Amino acid sequence: MNKVEGIILDWAGTAVDFGCFAPVNVFVDIFKNAGIEVTMEEAREPMGMLKIDHIRAMLSMPRISAKFEEIHNRPFNEQDVENLYAEFEPALMSSLSEYTDPIPEVVETVQTLRSQGLKIGSTTGYTQSMMDVVVPNALKKGYSPDFYITPDGTNSFGRPYPYMLYRNMEELKLSASWKVVKVGDTVSDIKEALNAGVWAVGVVIGSSEMGLSFEEFHALSDEEQEKAILKTEKSFLQNGADFTIKSMGELPELIERINLLISEGKRPFTK
């Protein structure tokens, strides 16, 4: 059967938590407590990575790194990463259940795809203990994939490594990487897909890459919305995405398009 067999979705910013705000606010807070004011852009840049890797990536940014050295008279080390993460996890856990609403169109789209015989998998930058909060709350609100795995299940090798996607393929019995579509809202998601050799799709509205809440996005004029959409699409495509979709409602149509490409012998990277 030469067509798509499975869709692997990211969680925050793709399936739940419009704009991916749960972790961002906590990253800003823990750095502020450490005497370093970080911008929302800096806090979002490594989004999608395992959260301790995300903290390490932020500390490695030239401006933040220099600021840390100015305060401590030394470069940051692994203990500093661990100290910040020790603050991050409980702070995130305390608010996480509030950020589990499915993003508009997700529940209906998943239903449509399942009715077409597609398997729905998922990967995340959250740890297992975080997902122990997210998964049951999302389920109560109507969203539940067939399988999910965290970097805890791949020896802490999260994105951009492809291993979580491989575990989905194994569990869901998907027969080839080119019959798999990964949908995510960050550059890390795209890199994960590229490294696994699956179709890479960036979802734009509600994404961490766009970085706007539901209210902020809908308060924009049509022209401003279009500008924000184009900027986000460009970022995904420049980072190697095969396609972008404005929202999850466009996914079933895109799957049909990918099926057509597959039938013509096209594969990811060779459209």
Q: Which residue's structure tokens are 């798999």?
A: 180
Structure tokens that stand for 77 in this block: 């080390």
> Does the annotation place 17 within a ligand binding site?
no
Q: Is 10 annotated as a binding residue?
A: yes
* pLDDT value at residue 269: 76
> What digits encode the pLDDT tens for the residues 211-269?
999 999 999 999 999 999 999 999 999 999 999 999 999 999 999 999 999 999 999 97
**3 included as an active-site residue:** no
pLDDT digits over 75-106, tens only?
999 999 999 999 999 999 999 999 999 999 99
Domains, the chain, ordered by start: 6-20+99-263 (3.40.50.1000), 21-98 (1.10.150.240)
Integer Cα distance of 208 and 11 in angstroms: 11
222 is known to lie in a ligand binding site: no
> pLDDT (tens digit, 9 = 90+) per residue, 215-231?
999 999 999 999 999 99
Residue 271 annotated among the catalytic residues of the structure? no
User: What is the rounded distance in angstroms from the CA atom of residue 164 to the CA atom of residue 150?
Assistant: 7
Left (φ > 0), alpha (ψ -120 to 50) or beta: where does 137 sit? Answer: alpha
For 173-199, give one letter per residue: b (16+ CB within 10 A) or e.
ebeebbbbbbbbbbbbbbbbbbbbbbb
Q: What is the pLDDT of residues 163-192, one digit of tens each?
A: 999 999 999 999 999 999 999 999 999 999
How many whole angstroms separate alpha carbon 191 and alpha carbon 48?
10
